[in-house]
A and B are shown apart, each in its own frame.
Chain A
Amino acid sequence: MFKKANFLFDFGALRLTNFSFFDLLLKLSALFLVLLPVLIFIVLFINSLPAIEHLGLSVFTTNNWDPVNDKFGVIAPLFVTVMVGVISTIFGLMISTPIALFLSFYSRGKISSFFSTVIDALASIPSVVLGLWAIFYVAPHIDKIETIIKTLFGFIPFLNGTPSPFGLFTTILILTLMLVPIQTVLIKELIILVPKSLIEAGFSLGITKFEIVKCLILPFIREGIIAVIFLSLARGMEETMATAMLIGNRPFFPNSLFSPTATLTSIIANEFAEAFSRIYLSVLFELGLILFILVFTTNVLAKLLLRLLYRRA
């Protein structure tokens, strides 16, 4: 009889009729992995219970942030979080859609791969480095742009504030820059899904590339773009470091587009280490819970949309 000495990991020898240790290990770790998000949710929920009991719904109806007197209202940071996400998503789409079109439709070969590398490099810059760059090279010059916007569009109430280096506008600019690579990659994948025969048919009719983009590609990827919007909205709302470094950390409603304010993430990042009372800490966990649910909902909406789209395609 030959021996199976050449097998180093002889887990098979431990097999009873229908059982192996390795299989058990696999199942246990899969179970553990499935429980991770549940665990996160439970931890957030348990820790926000004191705040929920103490403050109740007043968190969502009042607008004051006064830790000394245990008064917390998140309506302003919640609003700002969503607003920052929405505006930078829209700005990002205005940049990333042309780039995606350029990469997948207008250019090929070396030029295309060069700009793809650019997008990849932009995606790989950590947000803390982007924040550092913005503090020293964007923030000091931002008031000039803000003054221009003010003189041009000052008649709109929200665009008529005192320019300030750190605030909503700076944050939105940097977040836009962070969202562009993600959106570009996603939109590029969508454009690739457009059937080649459709585009060739368009060319054979003698219409221009712009008309193909306008009448064939854009309508075809419309639902996909909505999913991309939700995905990048979630990214924009959860982004922490650049926001915490640039938004100014003043947890009240912004007076204008230029004024400093705060988001859910920036409040957690800046105040967690100095939360002195139990309620204060618990409120910060509740902010985390709200953020988690917010991002979760947007992500699920995006996934559902994408799934519907791919089923049809």
Chain B
Amino acid sequence: MRFIIDKVFQIFTLSVAIFVSLVLAFILFQLIKDGISSLSINFFTETARPVGSSSGGFKQAIVGSIIIDSLAMVIIVSLSILGGLYLHLYSGSLFAKFLKEAMSLLQGTPTIVCGICVYYIVVKQMGHFSGLAGSIALALVGIPYMVLASEQIFNMTPTLLLEAAYSLGLSRTRVIFYVVLRFAKFPLLAISLLTLARIAGETAPLLFTAFGNSFLELNPTRPMAAIPLQIFIYAISPYDEWHRLAWAGALVLITFVTVLSIILGRYRRLGE
């Protein structure tokens, strides 16, 4: 009897795992099926068209996403490396503890709350929605992950290397630039790409900051479209053409995110 229960439970765990894999397979299958059938050259070369015209694409959203995400990554990477270095150099100090708590607090902040705060701070002051505000909102989402991860990376610098550098009489600033940062180059790159994968799919912070735009917009101080935002707008619309575009957009987005996270799967744990 005991052995039967044991086997039954083992099969139960296996079947739950298979069940979840099947759900994932369903999602991916339907995403690829509906995405590919609506993906065309127009999707990449045309901007949004009004309902009724059969063509129309995601160009403005793709360009917008690239601009918003790269601006956000500039903010995230520069601030997070500084924050991570602070945590590494002053580890154990009271303020470093504060910083860590602040980061985990920011990590837990609902993303939509980040969105409405940036709305008040940036959008209201500028007078209109803007891609830049979207980048700042996304940066608020990404910074805590990257700060905490980069601290771990800096802590991995071999002590032997540090001691050797200090024994040569280098100042701490130089040790940071020539030993710590150089040693952390590739892990930092990996973590930044993972953070990018994480923020690329975020929609809620963009709702009231970048706001969306049906025309191609290259100026980050103007309202801008982004892929996830466009998917959301098209998904809740009642038109079939727009639904098809939403599927194609979802396929592009998920391909980007999955490729990034599968390549860097090894570094995944550091970010959590």
Binding site for B on A (CB under 8 A): 7, 9, 11-12, 15, 20, 22-23, 25-27, 29-30, 32-40, 43-44, 47, 95, 98-99, 101-103, 106-107, 115, 117-122, 124-133, 135-137, 177, 180, 185, 207-211, 213, 234, 237-238, 240-241, 245, 265, 268-269, 272-273, 284-285, 288, 291-292, 295-296, 299, 303
Contact = CB atoms under 8 A, between A and B. Distances in A.
B117 A98 contact: no
B253 A115 contact: no
Given A122-B20, A129-B254, A273-B208, A101 B173 contact: no
Contacts of B68: none
- Most chain A CB within 10 A, of B19, B27, B83, B103, is at B27
Contacts of A26: 82, 85-86, 89
Contacts of A240: 110-112, 203-204
A288 B112 contact: yes
Interface string B200-212: 1111100110010
Interface string B1-19: 0110110011011101101
A4 to B, nearest CB: 10
7 contacts: A12-B173, A30-B86, A40-B106, A122-B24, A129-B231, A285-B116, A288-B117
A32 B23 CA distance: 43
B201 A127 contact: yes
Q: At the interface, is chain B mostly helix, strand, loop or mixed?
A: helix
Given A106-B10, A268-B116, A20 B232 contact: no
A34 B235 contact: no
A11 B197 contact: no
B117 A39 contact: yes
B197 A37 contact: no
Contact of A209 (B10, B28, B202, B236): B10
B155 to A, nearest CB: 16
Contacts of A107: 14
B247 interface: yes
B253 A98 contact: no
B246 A103 contact: no
Nearest to A184: B20
B116 A36 contact: no
B83 A115 contact: no
A101 B9 CA distance: 10
Give the secondary structure class of A's interface: helix
B70 interface: no
Contacts of B232: 128, 131, 241, 245
A22 B109 CA distance: 30
A211 B203 CA distance: 45
A227 B248 CA distance: 39
Contacts of A207: 2
A20 B171 contact: yes
A101 to B, nearest CB: 5
Contacts of A115: 17, 21
Contact of B103 (A20, A33, A129, A237): A33
Shortest 4 CB-CB contacts between residues of A and residues of B: A126-B201, A238-B110, A208-B6, A102-B13
Contact of B203 (A38, A135, A241): A241
Interface in B28-49: 28, 30-31, 34
B171 A121 contact: no
B184 interface: no
Contacts of B104: 299, 303
A128 B228 contact: yes
B239 interface: no
Interface in B160-211: 170-174, 176-177, 197, 200-204, 207-208, 211
B113 interface: yes
Nearest to A238: B110
Contacts of B16: 95, 98-99, 102
Contact of A37 (B31, B109, B208, B261): B109
A240 B247 CA distance: 20
Given A29-B79, A132-B246, A269-B207, 6 more contacts: A32-B79, A121-B24, A126-B202, A185-B272, A237-B110, A288-B110
A101 B23 contact: no
A221 to B, nearest CB: 15
A260 to B, nearest CB: 14
Contacts of A268: 112, 116
Nearest to B235: A132
Given A33-B143, A122-B20, A272 B208 contact: yes
A92 to B, nearest CB: 11
A238 B170 CA distance: 47
